Amino acid sequence: MELKRVVVTGLGALTPIGNNVEQYWNGLINGISGAAPITYFDATKFKTRFACELKNFDVKDYLNRKDARKMDRFTQYAMIASDEAINDSKLDLEKIDNDRVGVIWGAGIGGLETFQNEVLNFASGDGTPRFNPFFIPKMIADIAPGQISIKYGFRGPNFATVSACASSANALIDAMNYIRLGHADVIVSGGSEAAVTIAGMGGFNSLQALSTRNESPETASRPFDKDRDGFVLGEGAGALILEEYEHAKARGAKIYAELAGGGLSADAYHITAPHPEGLGAKSVMINCLKNAGLKPEDVDAINMHGTSTPLGDIAESKAIEEVFGSHAYNLNINSTKSMTGHLLGAAGAIEAIASILAINHSIVPPTINHFTDDDQIDSKLNFTFNKPQKRTVNVAISNTFGFGGHNACVLFKKLN
């Protein structure tokens, strides 16, 4: 059968450097760091005392108090970003066939804060099991797509993808495939995460995964820099409206780009460390290009996973050189995590949005906080260090890799 084409017709973002798509893009282009001391709890005794929290954010500006209380922050973020994307798409909610509209959403952890607080409350009591009746529905990762579908009455495919930091890229790939195969006309897809919590910071600190540059949070996320010492935890959500091309064209929709391909792979190596030679990263990019029917030389830009970890940045750089050969030096490659921090399950969604906007604006956002070259990383690669670069971007790919060795890669191209 002939596969249907999939396009992006709406975007929504809630990030540490902007609470909507326009603010987020401006933050990226201006090289703004979202890292600052933690305000959500007293982090004085933690090894890492900073994160990329949302700024100037009050959930009451978006959701009524009664609804918000029934949701963990990761679901609140999902609702807010998806609302923006749906509004941006200008879908006529009175005319669309709700049986053909789905929601496929990614979250690496889900309601971590809810789980943490319920356990702390129980442990501080007299042993009597008093739990919030919304404990379980607030915590489970699949509640975010469930809540979105309930609000809008979307009755198409509805589930959550959980693959650590690859979760929302996985969601986009699943959504693309459902539309390609004719099982849906429109799917709201993306991801959200809210892990800046006592348990989240403590857990990642114990793994020695986070930067401990407490004296200079804004420069702590420094992908590919010789002195990088771990990632910076972020939070937020990204939402994309994916739509079958003919369906979008028939209603005169604004089309940002075509989601032309997706790739998946596993490192099959270690629970947290990447394969040292980047084998999983290499295969996922090859799989993505094959799925899109494109060659390495067709690609203009790569938003790398680029977390600012000592091992991961080297492995991914090696993989790009192997996949793209001499063309690797013609690419603009970057890591927007240098600004947003690492949004875990939401990373793939907000980074996909960054890739789409790079196509639309012919600008590649920078990788900020580069001070010293790492002699284990090829300095001839164009990492778009410290300043954005103008260039025509016809094809952009975005990489996301997760604990457990999960790899996902999505490819967007200018519609032609």
Amino acid at the residue 286:
I
327 is catalytic: no
Nearest to 201 by CA among 76, 402, 54, 51: 51
How far apart (Å, rounded) are the C-alpha atoms in residues 302 and 295?
A: 14
Instruction: Give the active site residue among 52, 165, 288, 409.
Output: 165
How far apart (Å, rounded) are the C-alpha atoms in residues 92 and 86?
A: 10
Do residues 347 and 172 touch, judged by C-beta distance below 8 A? no
Instruction: Give the active site residue among 247, 305, 370, 406.
Output: 305
Nearest to 330 by CA among 362, 374, 298: 298
CA distances from 282 to 64, 318, 351, 374 (A): 45, 8, 19, 21
Nearest to 365 by CA among 288, 282, 297, 303: 303
Instruction: Give the active site residue among 247, 342, 370, 406.
Output: 342
409 is catalytic: no
104 burial type by CB count under 10 A (0-12 exposed, 13-18 middle, 19+ buried): buried
Tokens of 242: 């994916």
Q: Which helix (H) or strand (E) holds 258?
A: strand 257-266
User: How many residues comprise the chain?
Assistant: 416
CA 182 to chain centroid: 26
Tokens of 306: 């680029």
- Give every CB contact of residue 57 below 8 A, 6+ residues apart in sequence: 14, 19
Tokens of 356: 């789409």
247 is catalytic: no
Active site residues: 165, 305, 342
